């Protein structure tokens, strides 16, 4: 495995950056410039690069879609949220319609925010492409077809030009896919959710979203520690704060930044990516959450190797 590309990182539903939010960013940037003049475009670019991410950038608004790049001829995708649309555009720009591709799609669960990008995944309409949809749910194919049925969508599933296949996976059992060993893990979420551990080429990536953790259950905790063990990157559902996750939003099927740190520290993981961001949280709130998470990791490290913590955003590329 070479890298991980985040095409959609929001939870529950896509959101858009509002005009008021853009105005706030422009005002913050101009305030930081404080009348400064720039001799060249590169000098201006350096200044912008030095601004806080919440001012110069955005975490984005697409729902869950993550690509694992192996360097091989087949493509690995986790979930088909609205981020699947820009992913599809990038693949068509790279390969065109005349070069058929194989796409392996791993579905965490059947809620709409994780499937809604599939009707906009343009390779599905191109003959010669092969799309293999992997998952642990008995109704996986039914769910993919249902969202494209009238009156919900104008293009029926039957109009797909690509070959679409379904591969039923068994939780806890390793499966060989595109040169990788992929192991699903059952997670606590309404209707069940499944995380995936991808291992191969001397690297390991864990994709674990829409999962609530009851850490007082030692068996459940130990199961996730083993699932995350020595991973190079753990993509983790950190939708809520710890206070929200254990009180007002308990049993909503999501987790927190603090739990992500604790599990990754215990598992000896190398890097944690906060993911499935709460739609209500703006860029500044997510930036503060990242800072707080890094401080928490530092004060709870206790002699362990540092855990690198990042916050995923639409367009982020992580080298493994």
Q: What value does the mean pLDDT take over residues 33-41? A: 92
Q: What is the pLDDT of residues 74-106, one digit of tens each?
A: 999 999 999 999 999 999 999 999 999 999 999
* Strands across the sheet containing 180-187: 175-177, 180-187, 193-200, 203-208, 233-237, 271-275, 308-311
pLDDT number for residue 177: 97
CA nearest neighbour of 109 among 8, 193, 210: 193
pLDDT of 245 higher than 50? no
Both tokens assigned to 25: 């960013």
Percent of the chain at pLDDT above 90?
A: 87
Band (144; pLDDT cuts 50, 70, 90): very high
pTM flag (> 0.75): yes
CA 201 – CA 198 distance, rounded (Å): 10
212 φ/ψ angles, rounded to the nearest 5 degrees: -100, 140
Domains delineated in the chain: 3-17+60-319 (3.60.15.10)
């Amino acid at each position: 495995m070479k890298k991980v590309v985040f095409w959609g990182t929001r939870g529950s539903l896509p959101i858009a950056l509002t005009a008021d939010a853009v105005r706030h960013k422009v005002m913050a940037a101009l305030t930081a410039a404080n009348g400064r003049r720039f001799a060249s475009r590169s000098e201006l670019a350096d200044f912008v690069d030095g601004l806080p991410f919440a001012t110069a950038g955005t975490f984005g608004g697409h729902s869950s879609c993550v690509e694992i790049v192996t360097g091989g001829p087949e493509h690995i995708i986790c979930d088909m949220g609205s981020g699947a649309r820009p992913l599809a555009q990038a693949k068509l720009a790279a390969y065109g319609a005349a070069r058929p591709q194989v796409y392996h799609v791993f579905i965490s669960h059947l809620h709409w925010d994780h499937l809604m990008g599939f009707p906009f995944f343009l390779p599905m309409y191109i003959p010669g492409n092969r799309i293999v949809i992997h998952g642990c749910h008995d109704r996986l194919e039914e769910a993919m077809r249902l969202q494209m049925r009238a009156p919900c969508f104008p293009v029926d599933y039957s109009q797909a030009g690509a070959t679409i296949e379904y591969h039923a996976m068994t939780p806890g059992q390793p499966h060989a896919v595109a040169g990788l060993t992929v192991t699903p893990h059952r997670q606590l979420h309404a209707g069940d959710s499944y995380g995936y551990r991808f291992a191969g080429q001397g690297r390991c990536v864990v994709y674990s979203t829409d999962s609530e953790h009851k850490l007082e259950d030692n068996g459940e905790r130990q199961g996730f520690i083993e699932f995350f063990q020595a991973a190079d990157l753990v993509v983790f559902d950190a939708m809520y704060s710890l206070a929200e996750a254990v009180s007002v939003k308990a049993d909503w099927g999501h987790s927190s930044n603090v739990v992500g740190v604790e599990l990754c520290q215990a598992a000896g993981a190398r890097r944690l990516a906060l993911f499935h961001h709460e739609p209500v949280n703006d860029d500044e709130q997510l930036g503060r959450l990242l800072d707080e998470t890094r401080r928490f990791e530092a004060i709870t490290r206790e002699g362990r190797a540092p855990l690198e913590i990042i916050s995923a955003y639409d367009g982020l590329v992580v080298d493994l």
